Amino acid sequence: MAKYSSYVDQYKVSVPEGRSGAYRVEKFEVPDQTTLENLRIMRDGRTPVSPGVYTRLLRDGSFNGPIMSDTEAEVWDIDPLFRRAKGRVLLNGLGLGVALKGVLDKPEVTSVDVVEISQDVINLVWPTYEHDPRAHIHSGDALTFEWPVGTHWDVVWHDIWPTICADHLKDMHVLHRKYGGRAVWQGSWCRYEMERIASRYGI
């Protein structure tokens, strides 16, 4: 358990609480593993959240739930990126910066481009990471963002979706085609889970 906890703890972010527009960052405490959110996570076959204090990014409106958090389930979802990150990396989606923190913690990573569509998210999260000279923010839509001819990355990671839903596979496939010739390796957040849902329900 100690080894497991130390792995997860290293990805906890230091983004301060705050609000910008419809988005806010807040700390929250999980007192035990019997919370309603944990029951939902375990139902989906994902890692439950251990007791402790965490950080999450939320958005006002119809979406019910965090956009991103630094809990175990989120960290393990990004593990394929952490294991492969090296050289020049592209992250489509800033979120809370969990992926960015993990990538910047690797000395073999030389540069990280981040594309984020929401200026409010940039306002809240980017100041925590902007002092690393390897990190570069680009404001725009990952699906349509245009790069100079010949731009290439060692690793590309797509995480622009707030929920695990088969409806997101269309955009996921667009991104994988878009960067197929520009990356040595690319991956997407919870792609396997979304494809499994699509297969189960014939979507």
Read off the pLDDT of residues 21-66 as tens digits, 9 standing for 90 and up: 999 999 998 877 666 666 666 666 666 778 889 999 999 986 667 8
pLDDT in tens, 154-182: 999 999 988 877 788 999 999 999 999 99
Q: Would you say 92 and 115 are in contact if contact means Cβ atoms under 8 Å apart? A: yes
Q: Name the strand (E) or helix (H) holding 171.
A: helix 169-178
- Please report the domains of the chain, with CATH numbers, ordered by start residue: 2-74 (no CATH), 77-197 (3.40.50.150)
The predicted model scores a pTM of 0.87
* Number of residues in the chain: 203
Q: What Cα–Cα distance (Å) separates residue 72 from each residue in 48, 49, 79, 160, 191?
A: 7, 6, 10, 19, 18
Give residue for tokens 């690319």.
Answer: 186
